[in-house]
Amino acid sequence: MGKFFFAAVLVCGLAGTRPAWGQSTGTPAFLAPYRAARTNELGATLSDPGEGVAIEGFYRFGRQPHDFGFRAGILDTDGTTAGLFGVDYRVRVLTHDEDMPLDGALVLGVGAALSDQASIGYIPIGLSLGRRIDLEESAVSFVPYFEPLLTPTFGDREDVLFSVGLGVDVRVSEHLDLRVGGALGDYDGISVSLAWLQ
């Protein structure tokens, strides 16, 4: 019961803050509580972060229960282009049991969106909660999850932002993941990612 209470208190505490953003680059691409790859993964994300379109590449590596990720890309909004750069860290902190039905991971990051008009830094702090669903007699599995996320910002926009990321990671094959995500709150956005797993 203690693990479930801890997770519920954290989620409710974060819910008292304000508008939504995504992970370390400010896009609506979130992280499930599990690392999909055994050693590393390489992938790309296409997203609509409310205004414009963002394209990012990412690389993640690690050993259980820790992993690290790097993201870089561009965001185009009405002819203005911003460079996106981010680093994040994920560590499993909850494992499901009879008292806690979900697995959980703490997600921390730092990143920035840089353009001639404005440069904004992000420091996301989130708790990803979800559970893997394996299909019988199939290599396909699903991980539906949600991630309350508190994001202090700095630079040309100093604020403390809040979002709830929703997503599902679909293991299509041994080496391929399809990931769909979105943000809830004042900031709306969706993302689609493909990852090659090793």
Domains and CATH numbers, the chain: 2-197 (2.40.160)
Question: Mean pLDDT for the chain?
Answer: 88
Give the C-alpha separation, 167 to 28, whole Å.
Answer: 10
Percent of the chain surpassing pLDDT 90: 74
**Interstrand relation of 119-122 and 159-173 (parallel, antiparallel or unpaired):** unpaired
Confidence of residue 139 (pLDDT cuts 50, 70, 90): confident
Higher-confidence residue of 65 and 188: namely: 65
Could you tell me if 56 and 84 are in contact, meaning their C-beta atoms sit under 8 angstroms apart? yes
Q: What radius of gyration do the chain's Cα atoms show?
A: 16
Predicted confidence at residue 186, as pLDDT, reads 56
Give the C-alpha separation, 93 to 197, whole Å.
Answer: 23
Higher-confidence residue of 3 and 82: namely: 82
